[in-house]
Chains A and B, each alone.
Chain A
Amino acid sequence: MFSYIFSGDFPRSKLLTLLLVVIVVGLVLTPWLFPGSRSMETAMRIAIFIVLVASYDLLLGYTGIVSFAHTMFFGIGAYGVAITLNEMGRGYDAIFIGTALGFVGSVLLAFLIGLFSLRVKAIFFAMVTLAVASAFTLLVSQLYQFTGGEDGLTYSIPRELSPAFKLMKDKVFGVSINGKLVLYYCILFASFGLFLFMLRVVNSPFGRVLQAIRENEFRAEAIGYRTVIYRTATNCLAAGMAALAGSLMAIWLKYTGPDTTLSLNIMVDILLMVVIGGMGTLYGAVIGSTLFIMAQNYLQELMKVASDQFSAMGLPLLPDLIHPDRWLLWFGILFILSVYFFPTGIVGRLRKAKT
C-alpha cells in the first residue's frame, strides 16, 4: 500500500524520513500549530513550490536539461486562472477552464520549444528557453488589457473558498473553519497528489529511460530509445506540472503579477532549491523548498533577534554583522557552504550517511 503510493521509492534514510514526516505533518497542521495568516502563506508557498521545484528536477536532475523557461510555464498556469477569473467572474468554471487552458498551453509551448531546440546542444537549448521566457515576460507586460501589465491582476475566487464563508459557528481548537481553510487543504492535497504523481513518473519505465539517457545517451539510443522524444516528453510534462503549480498559486494568492510568477528571481530560487535539496531525487525538492522558503521568510527575523541580543550585550561588530539588512549576504554564504559540503544536496548527503 505505502509502496504503491510512493512508487516503491522510499527516502532510504531514517533522518530523511523523519525530516519529511515533520515537513508533511507541519504543513497539514500549520493552521493549528502556527495560527495566523503569515504562517499559512508560508506553508502554501512551500507546498506549491514543492511541486514547482520537483517538476524542475524532472528536467535538470533526471534528464540533464537546463531550462530557464520554468517560471514562464508557472506563469502561464497562473495567468490562465487569473485571466479567466478576471474576465468570467468568481466561478469554479473559470478556475477549471483557466487551469485547463494554462496546462494545455504550457504543454504545447514546451512541445514547440522542444521540437525546435532539443536536438541542439544543451547550452543552446538553455539560451532558447531564456529568450522565449524573456519574450513572454515582455508580452505579458504589453498585453496589459488582459494581464494587468506590471501591476498584475487582482480578482476574487468563489465565496465558498474565502474567509468570509464560515462552515461552523465555533472555532475548533482556536481555528475558525472557513472557506480559506478549505482552500488551504485543497491546495495542500493537490500539491501532495502532484508530487506523488511525479514520484510515480520517475519510477515508471519512462523514468528509467530518462535515467538511462542521463547515464549514457549513446547506448540508450542504440538499444532503441529515441532520446529526443523522451527529452521532449519530459519537457512537456515538467511544463504541465509547473503550470498546475502556477494555477494553484494564482487561486491561493488571488493576485497574479510578473513578480509572483514570471520573474527571473523565482527561476534562480527554483534552481537553488533543487541544488540544495539534491538533484535527481524528488525528495530533494521537498527539503530544498522548505528550507529555502523558511530561510527567506524567517532568517531576517532570526537575525534581528540575535542582533538585538548582541547589541544589548554591548558586543562590538557582531550586531552589525548580523544586522537583518545583511540577511541576503548570509543566505548566500549558507548556500555556498551547503553546496560545498553537500555537492549531492541534502538528500544525497543523508542517503550516503545511511542511518
Chain B
Amino acid sequence: MTGQEHPVLRTDGLTVRFGGHVAVNNVTAEFHRGTLTAIVGPNGAGKTTFFNLISGQLKATEGRAFLNEEDITSMPVSERTHKGLARAFQLTNLFSNLTVRENVRLAVQSRAGIGLNIFMMADRHRELNEKADHFLARVGLYDQAEVIASTLPHGGQRKLEVALMLALEHDVLMFDEPTAGMSVDEVPVILDLIHEIKADKNKTVLMVEHKMDVIHSLADRIIVLHNGFLVADGEPKEVMSSPIVQEAYLGTGVADHV
C-alpha cells in the first residue's frame, strides 16, 4: 500500500462500564505510524482507562481494538504485548525487590522470547546484559544498575518504568504521564528520549499528558477525552482553539499550564 497506509492501532466504539458509570464511552480513533498523539482531558476523564482497554488490563464492554488490523479485543495482556504493544504505567509498577538491571533484563528477555529456557544461566547471557545496559543508559540509569528498584527516588523509578517499556523494542509505545511527579531537572531526560523515539518513523506513540508545553513541543495530534467521550481529535492548534475544548478542558484549572 502506498499513500494511505492502514492505521497501526485503531479503536472502534470502545466502551467500558463500571456499574452505571461509563468510564470510556464509544471511543473511535486511529493511530498512524510515525505519529505522536497526545491524549488529554481532566482528571478522571478516562485516559488511563482507555489505555487499559487497548493494552488489555481491562476488558471492553463494547467495541473493538485492532493492532495492525488484527482484532486484539479479547487477547490476554501478554499476547497483545507480543503483538507489538508496549506500555509504561501512570502509577509506577516495577519489580520492586529486584535490581534495576534485573527489571530491564526481564523485559529484554521477554522480547528475546527465551522465558521458557531452563538450562541457560540468566546472568551470564552477554546479549541480554548488554541490551539491558543499553536501555538503562538511554534513560540515564546506567550508574544505578545494581540498585534495588524500590530504593530509587521517584524520578528514577519513572525512568525505569520507561526503560521497561523501551526494552520491549515494540513499535507502539504508550506513555501515561511519563513526567508526572518528576523533579524539574529530570524531566528533560525523558522528554529528549521521547523526541528521539519520535524521530524514528516506525514508531507510533500515544502519550497521556497534562503539561501543555510538553504537548506543544511533541504532539502531532491531540485527542481530548471528557467524561469518557472523545470530544475532539485533530491537529494541536485546531483542537486547542475549538470551543468544546475551551469549555471541557481549559475550564478545569489546567489553563495555567498553557
Chain A positions within 8 Å of B, measured between CB atoms, are: 4, 7-8, 200-201, 203-209, 211-212, 215-216, 218-227, 229-230, 233, 237
* Complex Cα spacing A177 to B123, Å: 43
Ordered by A's residue number, 9 sampled pairs between the chains whose C-beta atoms are within 8 Å are A8-B121, A8-B123, A200-B118, A201-B118, A206-B117, A207-B122, A212-B98, A221-B76, A223-B107
Question: CB distance B55 to A212 under 8 Å?
Answer: no
Q: Which A residue sits closest to B117, measured CB to CB? A: A205
> How far is the CB of A171 from the nearest CB of chain B, in Å?
42
* B74: Cβ under 8 A from any A Cβ: no
> Which of A205, A211, A222, A227 sits near B55, CB closer than 8 Å?
A222
Q: Evaluate contact between A233 and B110: CB separation under 8 angstroms.
A: no
Q: Is B152 an interface residue, CB under 8 A from the partner? A: no
B252 within 8 A of A: no
- Please tell me if the beta carbons of B78 and A225 are within 8 angstroms of each other in the complex: yes
Chain B contact residues, CB within 8 Å of chain A: 55, 57, 76-79, 81-82, 87, 89, 93-98, 102, 105-107, 109-111, 114-125, 128, 164, 168
Q: In the assembled complex, which residues on chain A have CB atoms less than 8 Å from the CB atom of B78?
A: 221-222, 224-227
- Say whether, besides A204-B120, A206-B115, A224 and B110 are in contact (CB < 8 Å): yes
A129 nearest CB across to chain B (Å) = 23
Interface-centre pick from B77, B107, B111 (highest chain A CB count, 10 A): B77
Chain B nearest CB, measured from A174 CB (Å): 42
Contact assessment for A224 and B168 in the assembled complex, using a CB-CB cutoff below 8 Å: yes
Instruction: Tell which of A206, A208, A233 has the most Cβ of chain B within 10 Å.
Output: A208
Given contacts A8-B124, A212-B106, A223-B106, 11 further A-B pairs with CB under 8 A are A203-B122, A204-B119, A205-B117, A205-B128, A206-B116, A211-B98, A216-B93, A222-B89, A223-B168, A226-B76, A227-B78
- Asked if B55 and A224 make an inter-chain contact with CB atoms under 8 angstroms apart, the answer reads no
Give the residues in chain B near A221, CB-CB below 8 Å. 76-78
Q: Which of A204, A229, A230 contacts B122 (CB 8 A)?
A: A204
In the complex the two chains form, what is the Cα distance from A118 to B104 in whole Å? 27
A216 in contact with B115 (CB, 8 Å): no
The residue from B81, B109, B128 contacting A222, defined by CB atoms under 8 A apart: B81
- Is B110 in contact with A225, judged by CB distance below 8 angstroms? yes
Which residues of B are found within 8 Å of A203, using beta-carbon distances? 121-123
* B115 touching A225, Cβ below 8 Å: yes
A215 to B148, CA, bound (A): 13
B82, A205: Cβ atoms under 8 Å?
no
Q: How far is the CA of A176 from the CA of B82 in the complex (A)?
A: 61
Known contacts A203-B121, A223-B107: A233-B98 contact under CB 8 Å = no
Q: Is there contact, CB below 8 Å, between A223 and B122?
A: no
Contacts of A204 in B (CB 8 A): 117-122
Closest CB of chain A to B128's CB: distance in Å? 8
Separation of A338 and B121 alpha carbons in the complex (Å): 33
Instruction: Decide if B95 touches A216 in the complex (CB within 8 Å).
Output: yes
Q: In the assembled complex, which residues on chain B have CB atoms less than 8 Å from the CB atom of A4?
A: 121
CB neighbours of A215 from chain B (8 A): 95-98
Known: A219-B94, A219-B95. A224 touches B102 (CB 8 A): no
Closest 10 CB pairs of A and B: A224-B81, A224-B110, A226-B78, A215-B95, A206-B118, A221-B77, A201-B118, A204-B118, A209-B115, A205-B117
Q: Are A222 and B57 interface neighbours, CB within 8 A?
A: yes
A230 CA / B89 CA spacing, docked (Å):
23
Within the complex, the shortest CB–CB distance from A54 to chain B, in Å, comes to 14
